[in-house]
Amino acid sequence: MAKAYCPNCDAAVIKDNPRVGAMITCRACDTELEIISISPFEVDFPLDYGDDEEEWDENWEEDEEDFDDDEEEEEEEEEPY
């Protein structure tokens, strides 16, 4: 039996015959976890490569546009000495 600790609540997570990449749920906080290592046994929050990646890219572009707008406003506000 392998034992690790939940990164969300620090409760012990125990699994018989763990497999790397398998998903388990912490019994204490119901957080979905991914087994990332067997020796030593370690779990972590799962990486989500689904549709969220495209959404993240769109949000990133929006944030860059907002940043560019802020820089332009600062340049306009500066007065020469």
pLDDT of 13 above 60: yes
State the average pLDDT for the chain.
80
The CA distance from 49 to 74, in Å, is 37
pLDDT at 23: 95
- Region for 13 from its dihedrals, namely left if φ exceeds 0, alpha if ψ lies in -120 to 50, beta otherwise: beta
pLDDT of 74 above 60: no
Cβ atoms within 10 Å, residue 43: 25
Question: How close are the terminal C-alpha atoms of the chain, in Å?
Answer: 72
Q: pLDDT-based confidence at 76, cuts 50/70/90?
A: low
- pTM above threshold 0.75: no
pLDDT at 15: 93
Average pLDDT over residues 28-51: 89
